[in-house]
Structure 1
Amino acid sequence: MHSSADDIRKLLAAKTWAFVGLTDTPYRTVYQMAAFLQRNGVKIVPVNPRAEAVLGEEGHTSVPPGVDVVGIYRRSQFVGPHVDEAIEAGASGVWTPLDVVDEEAAGRAVDAGLTVVMDHCPKIEWPAYGPTA
């Protein structure tokens, strides 16, 4: 249903990613993935409860309009509402990291026309599917 090579390639080529759960804590996976994509030319948009600025980018309390991909770095049981935010914001895709899966939310996203990649790591996929691959 999702996470095909074409889906991964499409999302990794996106220019703007909102990262749900991104705070200024360098040892967290979400920070490392946002920093990695930023170093590779992707504009990042931090989304966290305090609207904290991270990696030099203005923070938001919810997914703002104008982002291409919403990376949801929360546990599986919290993915659904953020997928709904991505749909409402007009994003073209959602991505969840390794071991984070919500098939019901993925179905809603696909039904709304979004590309879905779940249970994958952008940094792992980049060498094979990133824009420079």
Structure 2
Amino acid sequence: MKDWQVQLGGWGTIIWLASFQIMQFLNESGYTTEVKAVVGYTLGFITAFSGYLFWEIWHGRWESILGQERGLMRIISAIPLLFLLLFGLFGFINGIFNSMPWYYNLPFALASIVVAQGVIPILNHLDGTKP
């Protein structure tokens, strides 16, 4: 794993965790444009991460995400990930076709890159599943 991936994943996650407080501060201060950018980053992060988890489950890597238990509860546990993925994806597509401003779409895409290139490689490295 490369140093830039660790930096990207670490700082991207810190920004995501701080975004909830930042969003509250910006909302109270009346910065509506900046709030949309923070919401875009937050939703992009959640959508990309839940999409990755659902993709792993879809390709049969249940044990790494949901544990070793078999049966109906395993399938029921995957349903919220699917809904999170679809909610974020449809929100992003709606933002594109319903003329959501660029300051929402750009942070959404940036957060997706942070998750795909930084957070997921760190988690896979810590888990020992992939190099």
Higher helix share: 2
Q: TM-score, normalised by structure 2?
A: 0.29
Higher relative contact order (Cα pairs below 8 Å, separated by 6+ residues) = 2
